[in-house]
Every structure is written in C-alpha cells, then in structure tokens.
Amino acid sequence: MTVYVFDGTMDGLLTAVFDTFDRHEQPESLLTTGDALPLFCDNVHEVATDETKARRVWAGLEKRLSREAVRLIAVGWLSEMNDLNSPLYRYICKVFRQEASAPSIERNYADPDVLEVTNIARKVLHEQLRMKQFIRFQKAKDGTYLAVVSPDHNVLPLITGHFADRFNDQPWLIYDAHRHYGYYYEGKGRPVHITFQDEEAVPFSLADGKLREEVLSSDDRLLQDLWRTYFKAICIRERINPRKQLNDMPRRYWKYMTEKMC
Amino acid sequence: MLTDSTMERLRVLAESAKYDVSCSSSGTVRRGKQGMVGNTVGGVGICHSFADDGRCISLLKVMLTNYCMYDCAYCVNRRSNDIKRATLSVSELVDITMEFYRRNYIEGLFLSSGVVRNPDYTMERLVAIVRNLRTVQRFNGYIHLKSIPGASQELLNEAGLYADRMSVNIEIPREESLKLLAPEKNHQSVFQPMRLIEQGVMENKEDRRRYRHAPRFVPAGQSTQMIVGATNDSDRDILTMSSMLYGQPTIRRVYYSGYISVNTYDPRLPVLKQPPLVRENRLYQADWLLRFYHFKVEEIVDDLHPDLDLEVDPKLAWALRHPEAFPIDINTADYEWLLRVPGLGTKSAWLITNARRSCRLTSEHLKKMGVVMKKAKYFITCHELSASTLQPLRGINELSPEKLRPLLVSPRQRKLAEQEKQLTMDFGE
C-alpha cells in the first residue's frame, strides 16, 4: 500500500496533491510527519513541500471551484484540526479528477469528504462568530483597548476586519493566549500581526486576561461593575435556565468575560 | 459623570425593562464610517452574552424612567405598584451606551420608557437621547427605540431618522381582553403609531428611489410583542394576529412573552406559579413555520385545534393530522415539501437539494447530513430497499398516526407539558 507523508502545512498538502498526479498514483492515506506508519506499507513517499507546485494547485482550485468553495477550504484550514487533512486532500484530488461536464462536486454533500470539509469550515465560522460575541475589551491608561482570547480554532485572522471596521477610531489589541500572537490596530490603517518576545513582561495576565491595576484606566473598574450589575439585573429569576445559557455560551469562553469574572 | 448612584439606577431600570423580550440587532447592514463609532452586521445580529435565564443580551435594554401614568394590569411598572422608581439623565445614558459599546459588551441601545406627563413629553426625551448619540457622539451602532403610543407624527418622524428599528407592543391579541386589563388603552392606540411608522418607511423608500442619498428611515423595520397566558386568548388568536402582521410590509418580528406573575394581587390576572414556557416555545416554533417553512396559519391552528399541542411541535402535529401527504420521496420532492418533513430543517433541506443533483440519496447520507432520522424515517422514502435497518417498512400510513405519536414524544417532553397543564388549570375563575 502507498502512503504519503507531509509536513502538516497547507503548502505541503497542496504539494501532495501535485505529486499524486505527477506520479500517477493514489495513496491509501496521507499522514503528517511523526505519525506512526501503518503495518504493511511498502511504498512511503515523503512529500517535499514546494511553494511553486502548491501555487499551481491552488490556482487550479480557484479556476475549478466557486469563490465561496475556495474560501471554505481556506477557512477550514484555520481549524488546525488533523482530522481535516485526509478529507481535504481527497476532496481536492476529486476536484481535479472531475470531468468538466459533471455538476460541480463542491455542493455534493453526499460525498463524505465534501461534507466533512464543509462541516469543519462551519465549525470555524461558528467560532469566529463567538469571538465577535464574547470578546471583552478593557481600557488601558494610554487609551488602548485590550482583549485576551484563546479560541479552539485559529480564528483571529477572520475577525480583525470586523473589529477594525467597528472600532475604527480606537487603538486595540486582541491577543491569542493559546497561540501566542495577536493583532494590534493603532486607530487607523490595518491591524498588524504581533508577537511578544518576552511574554512574561506584558502588562496583562494570560490566565484570566486582566490588565494590571497600574495600567488600567481609572474608570474601567466602575464600568466593569456597571456591566456586571446590568448582567445580573436583566435576568428574570422565574425563568432561570442554565442549560440554555451553557449551550449558547459554553463555559470555556467564560474565563475572559467581564460578566463572569469577579 | 458615572457614579455609584448611576449603578443603582441602572439596576432598577434594567429590572423594569427586562420583561420586554425583543433583543435582536438584525435587519440592517451598515459598514463603519470614518469619524463614527460602530457598525451593524445584519444577518442574525450578534448576541454578546446570555443571562442566567438563557436569554440573549444583544442590546443595552433599559428604560429612561420607570415612572408611568398608566395602570396596565400586566405591567410591572404600573402606576399603582409600589416599586423603586428611577430616572437616568441623558448624559448618563449616552455615556453608558458608548462605554459599553467600545468594550464590545453590546451591539447598541434598546431604549423604552414609562409614560410621564404626556406621550409627547416622553417621546421628546427619548428622541433627545438618540439624537445626541447619533449627532454628537457619532454613534453608528444599532438603536432600537420604543415608540410611545399617542406621540405626535413629527416626533416619530424625527425618531425614525436615528433609530434602526422601532416598536410598539400589542401585548394582548384580542381587544376585549386588552380593554379589561388596560382600560386606558385600545387596539387603535397601538396600531396608530405602527401605521405612522410604516407610512414613514414607505415614503422614505420612494424618496430613496429618487435621491440615492436620502437618509434612511427605520431601516430594520418594526417588531412587536404579545404576552402569552395573561388572558384566556387562544393560540389561534395569537397566531392569526402574527400572520396578519407579517402580511404588512414593515413588521419583521413578533415576539411572544410567557406571562410572569408580577402583579399577583390583581384579580383580573391568573396566578401562575411558573410562566408558560412550553407554550411560549411552541408559539415560537409556529412563528418559524409561518416565516421560514411556507406554512399558513390555518394549517397550524384551526377550529378543531385552537391551541397548539404542548407535547409535540407544531410541524409534527401537522404531519400527524395529514398522513395522506406522506411518504415524501427525498430524491424528487420540491424544497417546500422537504420542509414539511418532521426532523428536516432548512439547513438539511438545502443540503439535500444540492446533493441530489450528483447522486441518489440514501438514509445513510441523510443521517450524515444531520437529519433527525428518529423522526424523519416514518415520513420519507429514499433510494434503497425499505428492509434496511434505518428505514423500517412501517411508515406513518402503515402504523397509523395514533400509534406513531407515542413513539415520537420523549418522556421529558411529556412531563414538561403535563406540569404546565396542571399549573394553568385553575385559570379563568
């Protein structure tokens, strides 16, 4: 049996597709470097990631699929889930194998690979919506608004546009504590990708997202209290329904949310 | 300047506003503008939090004041109630809205008010706040404004230029019941402002056809709310009213609010230990059928069934009453008919219509797509021999609806429905 091993990058996966057609073979499975090889594999091909080949495959995809379908693939990739690799690889291969006259495969949800890729992309889109819902900013003394998050999927690139559009006159920083990078917007222009060399020295806690007392702006504490007061007051006690609350606002998001902190 | 006293008043006024259920921030797409704060995203809107009762918090829902000159029996803020009264100043309200918005706590403001002195006086103060937000603070987020029945057309016209959505609550679907509970109101007083707003929207549409840059008037349309369980109005009264409203060009949403016994001492009101939550849920399901599933109100409730079935959802109830419509062939039926299958929603119906262009679908495919086969299997046929494990030989017609029904009601649903029936039994005496 034939097995391909790639380096886990998008370019690597696209190169694997290129090699499949170049070598006229169809591997039984696609593994990431470091995965245990299955028994009885007699043909292992190490995919050498090549940017030019990857570009050619991507351009081919853009020609054969609708813009929406290409976007879903890109969005799905941000899930950072290993389960996506094989279905996505087989999906892309099928796109290139398809005859031009057949109805496009991208909406054939009876195909398990297409359905899986679509479902994973949906999950990512769901989480980016949750970030737009649940991000909470604190205001620092210098006027910068800070929010710390740690989403399951790598969704920051999908939401910076929304926040730059909405808060176009206020400098903000959204930091992904789990992936150790963030986006900074200085109040004009575009949000920029940033990382901290010394993460220990940042003036906020990565564990609960709180700004340190000495850099917090003077009225922020009062506003947080106001918000917590409002959050408690708006609840109708006769209708308490923790099941629905947890369903719509899972507990894993609570640790950075003002109304759920004390 | 915000202080601790602001906090106490915000608490009081939020408590007074919370029985208004509308909270959505949908209906307008407006990109951010240079020199302004905020945008609106349209689509389903953004819910920023969920309170302990599970209801979403999208807008800062608050009253300007909870002093009120009216004495409506169902309202917590009625004149004769001995509750804490408070008023927020214009600058406090504006500050709270802007600061909350900049921290991404809220999508915008939902402002209502008790009526003080006279409707025009109250409306004027509401308009002053939204005017300040839009023109001084340059706020570009969502604003939902309650319009005060009886306010003048000039004030409504100005308010409509600042607000995204405006609303007047019907509260009680039948006029006799409304007059009983709120002697100072009648249906005329509710429909009058609704019509004025609608008129404004229609004129604005005409203007915008001619002048592309004419300012928009209430772009997200109107919404309204009805209280469920405070009177003996049937679900048929409620849904007929909703369906009539959805027939009008500017009504986007009707909300249903399970009555919570706030004024237990009033003999005109039922004493409920617990709000009718199951009934409220069924009404929302019926509302969805009207709006997204191409159902007509006569198909959901009729003379024989004036109230919704509490044990099963209205779509399943319809299917059980109409076995002749089934089975439906998944591979050939129109989208409209797919929507009628219990266990199949708009999402799976869309997936099916797309997927069946490429191949014939089997129940295995349907299961993967997220169709609730436990329900759907009795109502469909698909491309396979019916002897498979997923697709029993016996569909709704072989089993008969009476035998099928108990198979589809979970014990939990039955228990909840039973509890609610008992709690509302002694109603009307």
Reported as a single tens digit per residue, the pLDDT across B210-233 is 998 888 999 999 999 999 988 989
Pairing of strands A138-139, A43-46: unpaired
Measured CA to CA, the distance from residue B347 to residue B354 in angstroms comes to 11
Structural domain boundaries in chain A: 2-127, 135-260
For the CA atoms of A16, A19, A21, A25, what is the dihedral angle to 10 degrees? Answer: -90
Q: How far apart are CA B317 and CA B401, in angstroms?
A: 10
pLDDT in tens, B282-321: 999 999 999 999 999 999 999 999 999 999 999 999 999 9
Closest approach of A220 to chain B, Cα-based (Å) = 9
- Is residue B135 within 8 Å of residue B101, measured between CB atoms? no
> Taking a contact as any Cβ pair under 8 Å apart, which residues of chain B between 97 and 116 contact chain A?
99-100, 102-105
Could you give the dihedral angle defined by the CA atoms of residues B48, B54, B55 and B58, in that order, rounded to the nearest 10 degrees?
A: 0
Q: Nearest by CB to B51, which of A162, A169, A235? A: A235
The rounded distance, in Å, linking the Cα atoms of B48 and B58 is: 5
CB within 8 Å: B37 and A112: no
The answer to whether B319 and B343 are in contact (CB under 8 A) is no
Cross-chain Cβ contact A219/B37 below 8 Å: no
- Cβ–Cβ gap B100/A223 under 8 Å: yes
pLDDT value for B387: 46
Helix axis angle, A156-166 relative to A112-134, nearest 10°?
A: 40
Is residue B429 pLDDT above 50, yes or no?
no
Please give the domain boundaries of chain B with CATH numbers for all domains. Answer: 4-300 (3.20.20.70), 315-408 (no CATH)
Residue A236: predicted pLDDT: 92
Contacts of B229 in chain A (CB under 8 A): none
The model carries a pTM of 0.92
pLDDT at B428: 45
Dig out the tokens for B139 from the structure.
């706020």
DSSP B199: H
**Chain B, nearest residue to A224 by Cα:** B100
User: 3-state SS of chain A?
Assistant: CEEEEECCCHHHHHHHHHHHHHCCCCCCEEEECCCCCCCCCCEEEECCCCHHHHHHHHHHHHHHCCHHHHHHHHHHHCCCCHHHHHHHHHHHHHHHHCCCCCCCHHHCCCCHHHHHHHHHHHHHHHHHHHHHHHCCCEEECCCCEEEEECCCCCCHHHHHHHHHHHCCCCCEEEEECCCCEEEEECCCCCCEEECCCCHHHCCECCCCCCECHHHECCCHHHHHHHHHHHHHHCCCHHHCCHHHHHHHCCHHHHHHCHHHCC
Closest CA to B148 of B99, B115, B117: B115
B54 → closest Cβ in A110, A237, A244 = A244
Mean pLDDT score, B322-347:
94
List the single residue in B with minimal CA-CA distance to A188.
B34
CA distance B5 to chain A (A): 11
C-alpha B321/C-alpha B298 separation (Å) is 13
pLDDT at B385 over 60: no
- Supply B422's token pair: 């008992």
Q: Which of A169, A233, A244 sits opposite B37 (nearest CB)?
A: A169
The Cα–Cα gap between B115 and B150 comes to: 10
Plot region of A25 (φ>0 → left; ψ -120 to 50 → alpha; else → beta): beta
Contact between chains at A223 and B2 (C-beta distance less than 8 A): yes
Contacts of B19 (CB under 8 A, 6+ apart): A236, B75, B76, B257, B260, B262
Instruction: Specify the residue for token string 């008010």.
Output: B113
What is the H or E stretch that residue B110 is in? strand B108-112
Q: Phi/psi of residue B62, each to 5°?
A: -150, 155
When the pLDDT of each residue in chain B is averaged and rounded to a whole number, the result is 90
Which one of B103, B357, B366 makes the best mutation probe of the A interface by having the most chain A beta carbons within 10 Å? B103
Q: Are the beta carbons of B14 and A233 separated by less than 8 Å?
A: yes
pLDDT at residue B386 is higher than 60: no
Amino acid at A32: T
**The pLDDT value given to residue A59:** 96
Q: Is B350 on the interface with A (CB under 8 A)?
A: no
The total of other beta-carbon atoms located within 10 Å of residue B283's CB is 25
Report pLDDT for B153: 92
Q: Cα-atom radius of gyration of chain B, to the nearest Å?
A: 24
| Confidence at residue A135, expressed as pLDDT on a 0 to 100 scale | 96
Looking at beta carbons, which residues of chain A come within 8 Å of B260? Answer: 236, 238-239
Q: Is the CB of B416 inside 8 Å of chain A's CB atoms? A: no
Give the rounded percent of residues in chain B with a pLDDT score beyond 70. 96
Residue with tokens 């009253």: B63
**In this predicted model, what pLDDT tens digit does every residue of A87-146 receive, in sequence order?**
999 999 999 998 888 888 999 999 999 999 999 999 999 999 999 999 999 999 999 999
Is the reported ipTM for this assembly greater than 0.90?
Answer: yes
Between CA B72 and CA B190 the distance in angstroms is 14
pLDDT at B391 (0 to 100): 52
Q: Does position B372 have pLDDT exceeding 90, yes or no?
A: yes
Closest of B278, B336, B337 to residue B309, by C-alpha: B278
Q: Among A225-239, B20-34, B142-156, B167-181, name the one with the lowest average pLDDT.
A: B20-34
Q: Given this model, what pLDDT does residue A101 score?
A: 82
Q: Say yes or no for a CB contact (<8 Å) between B102 and A147.
A: no
> Which residue, among A71, A72, A65, has the nearest Cα to A104 in the 3D structure?
A65
